[in-house]
Amino acid sequence: MDTIMRLRLFYSLKLLIQVGLLFVFWGIGYLLQKLLNLPISAAVLGLIITLLALASGVFKLEWIKKGSDFILNELVLFFIPCVIGVMNYKTLLLNEGWQLIVSVILGTICVMIVTAYSIYLGFKFEHYLKAKRQVPTDHAGEKA
């Protein structure tokens, strides 16, 4: 086997393992949802568990980075079945489609506003933490 084939095989295997790890987190979320009868999606629970594992340092981002990038790059493919399903409701869309369009536009605007404020508050909090970590010094340059 030549070097290029080995690199491709290694990359494919690494990608498969990382996507598998993401599915493990989704599976844990699914089990929690079923066991505790929670009204939250298993995917959202899996995302929360993943974020907690990453934030605690138990799990490293490098372990799932390529797999999550792959899934995000192919995200459009996951919406094709939804669009095909919508075609079954052509009369509903023709009669009441304007309501759907207005709700999608308003929802998008709300998501953009909340995202912008979340990022703004996150940067403020990060700046606060950096300022808090700095050790005050006196005029001679020695630690106070």
Q: What is the pLDDT of residues 44-61, one digit of tens each?
A: 899 899 888 888 888 888
Model pLDDT, residue 34: 93
Quickly state the pLDDT bin for 43 (edges 50, 70, 90): confident
**Segment 70-125, tens digit of pLDDT:** 888 887 777 777 777 777 788 887 888 888 889 989 999 999 999 999 999 989 98
- Alpha helices by DSSP H, 37-138: 42-56, 65-73, 75-86, 90-133
How many Å apart are CA 43 and CA 16, to the nearest integer? 19
pLDDT at 42 over 80: yes
Quickly state the pLDDT bin for 64 (edges 50, 70, 90): confident
Model pLDDT, residue 120: 93
**Segment 10-41, tens digit of pLDDT:** 888 999 999 999 899 999 999 999 999 988 88
Span 126-142, average pLDDT: 73
- Cβ burial of 64 (10 Å; 0-12, 13-18, 19+) is buried
Span 60-70, average pLDDT: 87
Alpha-carbon distances of 90 from 74, 76, 96, 130, rounded to whole Å: 27, 22, 10, 55
